[in-house]
Structure formats: C-alpha cells, structure tokens
Amino acid sequence: MATRRVGVVLTSIGMQSVGLAAYAVTLAALGRWPTFAWEQVPYAIALSVIGIVSLAALYRAFAIGPIAVVSPVVASYAALTVVLIVIFLGERLTGGQAVAIGVTFVGVAVASTDTRQLRETLGRPTLGVRIGFFATLGFAVWSAVFAAGIRATDGLALIVVQRAFSVVLLGLFVVVRGISVRPLTERRALALVAATGVLDTGANVLLALGIAAGFASFVMTGSGAYPLIPALLAISVLRERLAPNQYVGVAVLVVGLVALGLQG
C-alpha cells in the first residue's frame, strides 16, 4: 500500500529512516545501547547494498509478473539460505530436522501459489520470473550474511549500522535523481511508511535474537513461512477465498513448523 502511494524509493528511505530512529530511541530507553566496532562496517555495507538491490528486484518482478509464479519463486529464498548456512557457517542438521525443514518449504511453496492463476499465466513472458530468481538469490545471500554478522559481532549494533548505511545510500540516490520527498508529507502515506519501518526493523531484531539464541537454519526456515500470515489475513479480514491447494499448503506449513519446533 505504501509503495503504491509514494513509490518504492521513497517508501524504502522513509521506512529505513523511521525504523532506525524508533530502534535507536527504544534501545536508549531500555538502557540496551549496543557496542559498536569497525568489524561491523563490512557486514553493514554488504547488507545495505544487497538488501536495497534485492528489494528493487522483488518489486520489479511483482510489477512484471506473473505473480502466481514469482511469489513461490521468491518465497523459496529460505531454502537456499539454509544451504548457504550449512555450507559457510558449518551448521549440521539431523535427519529429523532436515525432514521438518523440507516439509516447511513444501508448505511455503504450495501456500504461496494459486494453481488456477499459474495455469493461466504459464504462456506469458518469463522476464518477471527471471528477475524473481535474482531477488531470491539476493535475499538468500542477505540472510546468510546477516546470520554470519550476528554470530561475529554485536547483533543489535549491526542492525543500527546497517540501517544507517541504507539511509545514506538511499538518500544519495534521491538527491542524485532529484526525487521529490513531498509525497511523504501526506499524512496517510507517512503513517503507512512509518508502520512498515517499525515492523520491518522489529522483525530484524527478532531475527537477530533468534539467530544468536540457536540454529540460524531453524530461524531462517521460520522466517520463510511468511506466506502463512497474508493468507490468514486474506481469509479472516478481507474475506477472500484462497485456491484449494493454498489451504493444503497452509496446513502443511503449520505441520512443518510444529515438527521443527519439536526438534529443539
């Protein structure tokens, strides 16, 4: 909703700025101000660049479509993330854990795919899907780098530094391209952007805490289950009816998450 009102760039810089400010105020109020170190800078720069490019690719892929194909492709980033974590962070999974993660991924793919739309769009150009694959790779690399950064540095501080770099990079882009920030002064648009920034930053904090407390592969698998939330909201709030296969996907996804929780 925010991107439709003010565009991708203004939404991105607005949410990053508000999220950073709210996070800094919260840390100060709680007396949890983190410890900053130069070793956090390379991680922060990498996360900022990869995150901005991946989000731009995601929005472009959704704009081109077909969404019925792009959505499950992008949702599969968590599976690739787990592979990268196992390879580069050295995490080892038991047979039960691997099966639970696999079931969760199947649920994500099925829940995020409307097979009725998929059949209708199979003959369309695949540029959107190719860009979607690029976004998927970007999100997977971002997640793996984020996990590595949390393990190597103060995670709370890393989020501050990463957000600050993102605001600077996006700010430079806005200045160079001469983009007007006036749309952000509209009250409803600003409220949407602010809410997005707070929720997005909060999700990053929870992700960091989860990685620091246990297996990064478990946490990333859980984060990849986000199609469950819009699906449930669509049913309960918007009174939408999902495709039959999506109800099955939601059920499989829940089973996978429960099984994963029992593996701890």
Q: Identify residue 127 by its one-letter amino acid code.
A: L
Q: Do residues 10 and 190 touch, judged by C-beta distance below 8 A?
A: no
pTM over 0.75: yes
Residue whose entry in the numeric block shows the structure tokens 């989860």: 210
- Round the CA-based radius of gyration of the chain to a whole number and report it: 19
Q: Token pair of 208, please?
A: 């960091």
How many residues comprise the chain?
264
d(C-alpha 247, C-alpha 37), whole Å: 47
d(C-alpha 20, C-alpha 169), whole Å: 14
Tell me the longest C-alpha to C-alpha distance in the chain. 57
Query: Residue-wise pLDDT tens for the chain (264 aa)?
Result: 555 667 778 888 888 899 999 999 999 999 988 889 999 999 999 999 999 898 888 877 776 766 666 666 777 787 788 888 888 888 777 777 677 777 777 776 676 666 666 555 555 546 777 888 898 899 889 999 999 999 899 989 999 999 999 999 999 999 998 888 888 888 888 888 888 889 889 988 988 888 887 777 777 776 766 655 655 665 666 565 666 766 777 677 677 666 655 555
